[in-house]
Amino acid sequence: MSRIAEKYRALSPIITLGFPERDERLVPQNMFVAVNFNTAFVMVDNVPVISYPLMLLAKGSLPKVTILQAQADADGITINYDAHALTPDLNVNDEVIACASLLTGDLLKVKQFIGFEHIGTIHLTYPNLQAEDVVCCYVFVRSGDGEKASDSVYVEVKG
């Protein structure tokens, strides 16, 4: 439980955006714990360890983002996604939200409108970033009115 609490503290600015479809009596922290408590861990030497690809920072009814590529470079992380696949269910006022947690403890985050492109690009700015400095990276969509979200997608960042 303490590992999930640590992740919540580190990622709370994103998690607060990622669970809008919830019972009004529950807060995003409760939802984050409930969604991840039984599914986001793997056993390593009989010790539970968080598996970032299994962890969700957002959960909802909107379609998940399909990541085409994610690259770390001198300017940060550039993520390309299939925006065209989202268009039947989403519109240009909806947002793509991306975040990355770094070994330094920094949390990179950015929100942008989906727009009209078939291939979307979102950029997390951080100078001289190396792929091995990225602890985890996620992308999800959120409706323009903030009422709905998609499940988050773990993004493998390559160098």
Q: Is residue 159 part of a domain?
A: no
Q: Which of 140, 130, 116 is nearest to 64 (CA)?
A: 140
CATH number at residue 79: 2.60.40.10
Question: Tens of pLDDT along the chain (159 residues)?
Answer: 678 888 999 999 999 999 999 888 889 999 999 999 889 998 899 888 899 999 999 999 999 999 999 999 999 999 999 988 887 777 888 999 999 999 999 999 999 998 788 899 999 999 999 999 999 999 999 999 999 999 999 999 998
The number of distinct structural domains making up the chain is 1
pTM: 0.93
* Spatial distance between the Cα atoms of 73 and 7, rounded to a whole number of angstroms: 25
Q: Is residue 135 part of a domain?
A: yes
Q: Is residue 124 part of a domain?
A: yes
Q: Is residue 147 part of a domain?
A: yes
Q: Which of 18, 96, 7, 112 is nearest to 57 (CA)?
A: 18
Structural domain span for residue 45 = 2-154
The pLDDT value recorded for residue 1 is: 60
Q: Which of 71, 133, 131, 58 is nearest to 97 (CA)?
A: 58
* Spatial distance between the Cα atoms of 55 and 84, rounded to a whole number of angstroms: 26
